[in-house]
Amino acid sequence: MMFKKFRFSLSFILLASFLLSFQASANTNQEPKDKLLLTILKYVLTEGHYQPQEINDHFSERVFDGFLERLDPTKRYFLQSDIDEFSNYKLLIDDQIKNEDLTFFFLVYNRLEQRFEDSKPYYKELLENPFNFEDDEILNVDFENLSYAKNTQEIVNTWRLYLKFNTLSRLHDKLTIEKDKQIEDNTYIIKSLDYLENEARLATLTNMDETFDRIKELTYTDWFSTFINSITEEFDPNTSYFDPSDKKRFDISMAGKLEGIGARLQKKNDYTKVVELISGGPAWKQGELEVEDLILKVAQGNQKPLDIVGMRLDDAIEFIKGQKGTEVRLTVKKIDGTIKIIKIIRDIVEIEETFIKSSIVEKDGKNFGVINLPKFYIDFVEENYRNSATDMAQEIERLKSENIEGLVIDLRNNGGGSLQTAIEITGLFINKGPVVQVKYRDKAPDIKNDKDPSVIWDKPVVVLVNELSASASEIFAAAMQDYGRAVIIGAKQTYGKGTVQSVLDLNRYHNMDADVGALKMTIQKFYRINGGSTQQEGVHSDIMLPSRYTYMEIGERDIENSLKYDKIAPTPYTLWDNYQNFNETVNNSKKRIGSNDYFKLIDKNAKWLKENQDDATVELNLQKFSAEIEATIQESKQYDQLKNYTTNLTYNSPLYETQLLADNTDLAEKRKVWHSNLKKDMYVEEAINVLSELKIKPKYQLVKN
């Protein structure tokens, strides 16, 4: 297995652009339901969206640019002459939306199909003859700043460079395998470079053929939906259209989507992205798959891997999930651009493992509790079914019985969930009062309060967050910070998802005998009790811990066209001013982190990852290509010690779980894995350090804000 920089994803970008470029048969008939959809969307978006856009010439320009970028992201199909012709409509799309006119869409759509047919022979012809890997050529992948080809000759040359890269990548893999074989057996004779180059070229050809076969499955609806989403997502990136078939499967948090490896998956452009790992699931236990990984290929055991770039999400999931006990091998692109094959044994993903769990750790003769909350869960159908608020209260009471002195609440990778439970959980730590402000457009904010004056935990609290803590997690962390109730430790800032979406069935707006799909639309915005929005800004930690995501573009603030941060009036609330040494403890932690060699190395690693991610050139000379890969491998070795880090802390299950673990060996194994991971977790370790220093004032003091 070899490590590769960002450039190694290019072969898959190549495939993705194929998949953005085909439809089985041309269609110029403007169907009534498609035209009607434009009117419905215009009405719903302008009347219901939290921050509606004016559908004018400026809006038209943005839709124009966005649609073309979606169709030809690597600029290998359209000619500059095509763009010049399309540009006649650049300021007219807004008028066409208002007039139920799809002329622009069909012009671009049919031209794309034509250009696709024109380019079909390229890859076969270019792969007939060997590539010269001694030439000093470079592939530029800064697509945004590339120009469209002026003629067919330029397009063919672009194809040549991409296919050359694709083949070079495979050739390097084969050379590495051959060298490894010779190391294992010094009598082994390495195959010739010409032989391996031919094998690599044939593999590229096969890969292209398979890709074209899958392209044929795409329908007119896919491309029309692409155009419609170019319109809806100009309002904000969380507003999107679902055609009738997508409407039935858009919620990938459903149980069927979690079968097999225990990962929640999402479509990102043409990639299948990991957005959450289910606690205790197979992928979580295996430990190599991470949030933000892009799954490129799927293999059933040692069978030939299948490329899933460009594949529909539900189809990709069908290949990933499978029967308990079977092995799946995922080829993934990591956030540093490296390509890795991860082997996971499928299992039944139990919902139990998405629930709250706790552990007890001793430090300096005192016991502290660690509560992991994977999500803010609730069942809106069964009122008496467990939810995160009642579970949190019960877990705290159980830990109190074991005389813990402080509590770490781990919200890392918690993407949110129920607003109601976030409010109720906040209420466990404060007297009654406001928790969050929720605002519809053009209306006064609705202040959501904790109405229960009781407090079940009045000792120190540390809330641990990272860049993937979002939505309800940010509401809870923000309230705990605004009240001064907890020390927030972790990422520089959390994800910054401060908006609320609602899914609307668009069929309620017409009487035709046709299904026009659904719209997920942003309708509300969250604001802290101090008046600031969590949108884009998220929650800034009191104590920042460096992580491999520190310099990555990973939050809502990094998504083009996301709603902006703003402020409204604060609502009155009473500070929980009961810490004796809050500032001193925070400063002590910052000093520890600043002098900690491991945290320094994490920060250095994060900068290195960002540098590799930003590299936009690819060497197509075999010697230079191999040298860069080897340099990357050698550079990465300086960070290997981070994987071996361990603390001197020991984590144990609370006493109430003793019998449960004795009766349930699977649960016992899951807890063993979790505790092992906690022992290696320097972030939890520092949270415990902070917790152990925090002191409560002898007397409680109320300070009015």
The residues assigned a catalytic role are 471, 482, 497
Q: How far is CA 23 from CA 71, 105, 107, 115, 213, in A?
A: 12, 13, 14, 12, 12
CA distance 452 to 432: 5
Task: For tokens 């700043």, name the residue.
Answer: 145
Q: How far is CA 282 from CA 287, 288, 291, 320, 592, in A?
A: 9, 11, 14, 12, 35
As a residue count, the chain comes to 705
What are the backbone dihedrals phi and psi of residue 488, each rounded to the nearest 5 degrees, phi first?
Answer: -95, 125
CA distance 295 to 423: 36
Task: For tokens 């890269």, name the residue.
Answer: 165
Query: In this structure, what DSSP letter does residue 190 have?
Result: P
Task: For tokens 């109190």, name the residue.
Answer: 400
Task: For tokens 């040359």, name the residue.
Answer: 157
CA atoms within 13 A on the CB side of 432: 5
Q: How far is CA 495 from CA 555, 562, 681, in A?
A: 5, 12, 21
* Closest CA relative to residue 388, chosen from 349, 369, 350, 414: 414
* Closest CA relative to residue 468, chosen from 481, 477, 459: 477
How do strand 433-440 and strand 446-450 relate by DSSP bridges? antiparallel
160 token code pair: 């040549």
CA distance 143 to 674: 42
**One-character DSSP codes across 228-248:** HHHHHTTT-TT-EEE-HHHHT
Distance of CA 333 to the CA centre of its chain: 13
Longest Cα–Cα distance of the chain, Å, equals 83
CA distance 152 to 158: 10
**CB–CB of 493/540 below 8 Å?**
yes
* Closest CA relative to residue 66, chosen from 186, 237, 211, 222: 237
Query: In this structure, what DSSP letter does residue 567 have?
Result: B
How many other C-beta atoms can be found within 10 angstroms of the C-beta atom of residue 364?
10
What are the backbone dihedrals phi and psi of residue 276, each rounded to the nearest 5 degrees, phi first?
Answer: -165, 140
Amino acid residing at 607 = K
CA distance 456 to 453: 10
If residue 104 lies in a helix (H) or strand (E), which one and from where to where? helix 103-126
Radius of gyration of the chain (CA): 27
| 3-state SS assignment for residue 330 | strand
The H helix count followed by the E strand count for the chain is 21, 22
How many other C-beta atoms can be found within 10 angstroms of the C-beta atom of residue 601?
16
Judging by beta carbons within 10 Å of its beta carbon (0-12, 13-18, 19+), is residue 8 exposed, middle or buried? buried
701 token code pair: 């003091």
Distance of CA 515 to the CA centre of its chain: 30
Query: In this structure, what DSSP letter does residue 347 have?
Result: B
Task: For tokens 């292209």, name the residue.
Answer: 208
